[in-house]
Amino acid sequence: MNIHDQSRWNKIKSWMIISLFIILISLLGYVIGMLYGSPVPGFVLAIFGALLYSLLMYFQGDSIILATTGAREVTKKEYPYLFHTVEGLAIAAGVPTPKAYVIEDTALNAFATGRDPKHASITVTTGLLNKMNRQELEGVIAHEMSHIKNFDIRMMMLTAVFVGITILLSDFLLRSFLWGGNRDRDNNQLTIILIIIGIILAILAPLIGEMIKLAVSRRREYLADADGALLTRNPEGLASALEKIKQDPDPLVDKANKATAHLFISTPFRKSEGFVTRLFATHPPLDDRIKLLRSM
């Protein structure tokens, strides 16, 4: 499967994941409604609330992300080479030139966000700008430009939104079972079974949603690496940049959080080991990414 086939297949899988989230949210809404005596209103309210929240995040999500990470828009006069690199690679990718933002942080990192290529931005840390040479910076920007060109920015933002909705509904459902709900419901066998299913769903839904989000993020990082290397025609530039990021003694981006971590080119938290850490990692191992780039 070549990179173009992989991109098309990723889009199909993206819609499959969105459909799965809608089903998950619908089930949670149905169980919440059933708990309060009428499952249909719960189902309708869950879907309606999810749509409203999704629309808000669709149009304002990137602004919220930029604000929470402490990113500020910069001028061409302030960072001329960053601007020229972004403009040149936007032309190569065939997309409108994204806005450029900078985070004042010594960590080496970058991310792209937005709802589509016309409303996109690329953010880099000052640490990355200070440590990367010309080819390495081009590799990083090309990686982020690929996320924009392939509409990864939209999918990653929507996935984070759906995970957030799932967690909110699950938390509400668990609290309803513990403290509220329909106290007059019949104590028959079917009701008991549904309650057990509801509790299991409430516990597992956030975990399932989070793992889907992480799987989407990891898969798209590999594709953006390959596509970015095609843009620059120089896989070694990005491979060398990832090596420097791997060796960064303080990779923590101060204002990064779990909601935005999957957007960065590398995990913005301090390094940790273990099976659970790898299972919930937002990014594939840097060694694997470097090896694949150098095999191109």
Q: Which of 295, 153, 150, 145 is nearest to 232 (CA)?
A: 145
Q: What are phi and psi of 213, to 5 degrees?
A: -60, -45
Q: What's the rounded Cα separation, in Å, for the pair 242 and 290?
A: 7
Mapping DSSP to helix (H, G, I), strand (E, B) and coil, where does residue 266 land?
coil
Rg (CA), the chain: 21
Q: Which amino acid is at 84?
A: H
Max Cα distance, the chain (Å):
72
Residue whose C-alpha is closest to residue 148's, from 215, 81, 62, 224: 224
What are the residues whose beta carbons fall under 8 Å from the beta carbon of 50, sequence distance 6 or more? 22, 25, 162, 165
136 is catalytic: no
Active-site residue identified among 138, 144, 210, 243: 144
Which residues are part of the catalytic machinery? 144
